[in-house]
Amino acid sequence: MITGRKIEVEMKYQLRAPDSADRYLVAPELAKFKPVGQVRVVQIEDRYVDSADWALSRAGFATRLRRVSRETVIGLKRQGKPQGRLHRREELEGPADPATSPADWPASPARSVIMELCGEAPLIDLFTIRQVRRVRRLECGATTADLSVDRVEVFVDGRMLTRFDELEVELDGGSEEPLQALGQILDGDDGLRRSSRSKLDRAVKAIGKTLTTMPEETQRRWREAPTEMFGLLRPRPTPADPATTATDAATEATTDAGGPTSAPDPGVDGAPPDVSTHPQLEGASVAARPGPRTLGVLPDDSLPEAARKVIKFHFGKMRAREKGTRDGSDLEDLHDMRVSTRRMRAAWRIFDDAFKPGRTRKLRRRLRVIADRLGAVRDLDVLIEGLESYRLGLDPDQRPGLEPLLAVWRRQRTSARDLLISELDSRRYASFVEDMKEFLDAGANEAATVASPTLPHRVRDRVPSQIWAAYEAVRAYEQVLPWADVETIHQLRIATKWLRYDLEFFGETLGPDSAHLLARVVALQDYLGCLNDADVAAKLSRDILVARAGELSRTETEAIGAYLHSRERELARRRKALGPVWRAVTGAPFRRALGRAVAAL
């Protein structure tokens, strides 16, 4: 096994029809090449991964864990520009064990780069490419190459997004000159189209087209993808090779599965993508990312002043999303409004003793009702999105069986939304908005009286111990986590949430490590959230099967039962793979970085 650095050289062709390249596997000769041995069939699974903060992509690497038979190899590739027919990419490889942290893998150049860029941060799955590869060995003197015809499928969160077929010829050793002669033959085949796009490129395009139908965590992650990922996946063809540009432009007249498309793919033919939606994912209906978020909290602020800044910021965001939440045109408005109410409630808890006793009691009660109404709708949105995503991955004749479950959740969402709109239209809500404005305008007049100037009352005095206390509450789960039940893991998620809020609210006052610390805490919270979502979906599916046992048809029972089992498998999978995400927050590197961040106060 190669465990070092190499330059991958290959030619790639898309197939107009699944069987249009089969004859090359059995041909007695191809240009200057002679086949050696028999056609081999190889099943390959590539899990593309990165850290929570996209460190590998930002450094220009596409990273995959490739499993063939029982062997797993980690590979890091740098995308190069096609030179004529040939694609060249620098590649680092090494042995890997997907069940352990990279720190525990055998030494290799690939592992060294991962440890340098990611430290002990866990590698998180982005998507999976599975392929059945039929391979024939070719020789021409000292030159050897592998010709393969690949059936490729792209999966995200267990859902297949696209399927396509392609032919590759990869140089294994020797001169490149025989490849050029073979390329001339392949270029003249009407059943093939020369391509400058990698499987990785086509996978990301498929993700972009279907992003809005994916679960919330997946959408959020891809919306935060760095521009380096886009540049990596969409190299511009060189002017010296117009044939590549023309070929890929023609290719865009078909989908990855061989059918017509609705629009060409900008970026493949050199045209700049439309970044008004999202610079990484052409085709996704995603709003541009907002600018930097600034709360304005300063180390010398008193706690009441810091609290007022945090609450005022999120109150403004809540109000900004109210109109969209009312008309329901974009589910993200409701999501963002709910997030803002949760941040406001969290701020009152974190700054619990900053205000006069009893002054915020009424505001907190009203905000809790509003947050609960928003949460009831949002939770059902997450359930429905997850079920819809699962259903789209089924064969068309299997999808109707899930309709009873989907119908129940949709009815519940309609009722929950009616209650939400009633609350937003009520005099209570209008009174809450006015009371909040008055409270925020009062500023220091609402603060609790400071009995003595020697009592700790500034951010720099109080926050260090507060952050460490929140971290201690998370780390306390270390001893019970290996055998913790779902409820205990849910409590861990809540503890993680409070650590996240501390790092968010005071991030501007902490050292430069704070952004990376927050990213790791968010990754843990999101991971635990998906685990909880899987558990909730499984329980609710089971409730439907029990409550309507005599009403459901056999097809419906089997379909809902299969979905129930899929959620249970997802729950088990995430529990088993929790270790790396957990260690990224509880390990010594995180603690040292947290100490540096807090020391800035």
For 269-278, the pLDDT digits (tens) are: 233 333 233 3
Paired residues of 75 in beta bridges: 64, 93
Domain 298-448 in CATH: superfamily? CHAD domain (1.40.20.10)
H-helix or E-strand containing 412? Answer: helix 403-424
Rounded distance, CA 53 to CA 336, Å?
21
Residue 472 has pLDDT above 90, yes or no: yes
More confident residue, 228 or 413: 413
- pLDDT of 166 reads 92
Residue 419 has pLDDT above 90, yes or no: yes
- pLDDT of 351 reads 84
Look up residue 121 and give its DSSP letter: P
587: nearest Cα among 118, 87, 110, 7: 118
The CATH 1.40.20.10 portion of the chain extends over 298-448, 455-601
Rounded distance, CA 594 to CA 519, Å?
12
Domain 455-601 in CATH: superfamily? CHAD domain (1.40.20.10)
DSSP 190-206: TTEEE----HHHHHHHH
Residue 142 has pLDDT above 50, yes or no: yes
- Maximum pairwise Cα distance, the chain: 93
494: CB partners within 8 A, 6+ apart: none
The total of other beta-carbon atoms located within 10 Å of residue 338's CB is 25
The CATH 2.40.320.10 portion of the chain extends over 5-244
Q: Note if the pTM is more than 0.75.
A: no
Average pLDDT for residues 179-196, to the nearest whole number? 86
21: nearest Cα among 11, 36, 6: 11
For 320-361, the pLDDT digits (tens) are: 999 999 998 788 889 999 999 999 999 888 887 777 767 788
Average pLDDT for residues 87-99, to the nearest whole number? 85
Compute CA distances 448 → 302, 452, 457, whole Å.
11, 12, 10
Look up residue 19 and give its DSSP letter: T
Rounded distance, CA 544 to CA 237, Å?
54
For 107-129, the pLDDT digits (tens) are: 888 898 898 888 878 888 899 99
Architecture, CATH, for domain 5-244: Beta Barrel (2.40)
Q: Is 472 exposed, middle or buried (0-12, 13-18, 19+ CB in 10 A)?
A: exposed
